[in-house]
C-alpha cells in the first residue's frame, strides 16, 4: 500500500512538472507579442525592416511535429514573399531574439510588430490563414 501511494505521488509530481513547463514556455514565448521586432540579420531582417509582413516558422530537425509541417512551409516560402523557415539548430540567435523556446513555433510579424505567436503543429490551411 505504501509503494502504491509513493508511486502515485511521484507520477503526480511528474505530471505537475510537465504542465508547469508547458505553461512556462507558452507565457515566456508569448512575451514578445505586441512588441517591436528586434534587429534580425539576413534576408528576413531586411524584409522586416522595410515593414513587410512576415511569417517565421521555427523548427528543429529532430522535432516529430515539425517533420509534417516543414515541407508545407518550405513549399509556401518558395511561392510566397515573407515566409521564412528557420532551423533553430542553425539560427538560434533569431529564435532567441523573437523569444522562441519550443518547436514548432510560428511568429507572425506585421508592420515591424510581433502580431501572433502560434506554438505546436498546425494544419496547412491554418498556416495560410496566418499570412492574411
Residue 6 has pLDDT above 70, yes or no: yes
What would the mean pLDDT of 116-120 be, rounded to a whole number?
A: 90
Residue 10 has pLDDT above 80, yes or no: yes
Statement: the pTM of the whole predicted model exceeds 0.75: yes
DSSP assignment of the chain: -HHHHHHHHHHHHHHHHHHHHHHHHHHHHHTTTTSBPPP--HHHHHHHHTT--EEEEEE-TT-HHHHHHHHHHHHHHHHSTTEEEEETTT-HHHHHHTT--SSSEEEEEETTEEEEEEES---HHHHHHHH-
What would the mean pLDDT of 114-131 be, rounded to a whole number?
A: 89
- Given the C-alpha cell 509556401, which residue does it identify? 76
- The C-alpha cell at 76 is 509556401
19-53 residue pLDDT tens: 887 777 777 777 778 788 888 888 888 898 888 89
What contacts 97, CB < 8 A, 6 or more positions away? 38, 39, 40
Structural domains present in the chain: 31-131 (3.40.30.10)
58-108 residue pLDDT tens: 999 999 989 989 999 999 999 889 999 999 999 999 998 888 888 999 999
- Given the C-alpha cell 523569444, which residue does it identify? 99
Residue 2 has pLDDT above 90, yes or no: no
Amino acid at each position: 500500500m505504501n509503494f502504491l501511494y509513493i508511486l502515485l505521488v511521484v507520477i503526480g509530481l511528474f505530471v505537475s512538472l510537465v504542465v508547469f513547463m508547458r505553461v512556462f514556455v507558452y507565457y515566456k514565448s508569448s512575451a514578445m507579442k505586441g512588441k517591436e521586432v528586434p534587429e534580425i540579420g539576413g534576408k528576413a531582417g531586411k524584409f522586416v525592416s522595410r515593414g513587410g509582413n512576415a511569417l517565421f516558422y521555427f523548427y528543429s530537425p529532430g522535432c516529430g511535429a515539425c517533420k509534417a509541417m516543414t515541407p508545407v512551409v518550405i513549399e509556401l516560402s518558395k511561392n510566397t514573399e515573407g515566409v521564412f523557415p528557420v532551423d533553430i539548430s542553425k539560427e538560434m540567435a533569431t529564435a532567441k531574439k523573437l523569444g522562441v523556446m519550443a518547436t514548432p513555433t510560428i511568429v507572425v510579424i506585421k508592420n515591424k510588430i510581433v502580431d501572433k505567436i502560434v506554438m505546436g503543429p498546425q494544419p496547412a490551411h491554418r498556416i495560410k490563414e496566418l499570412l492574411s
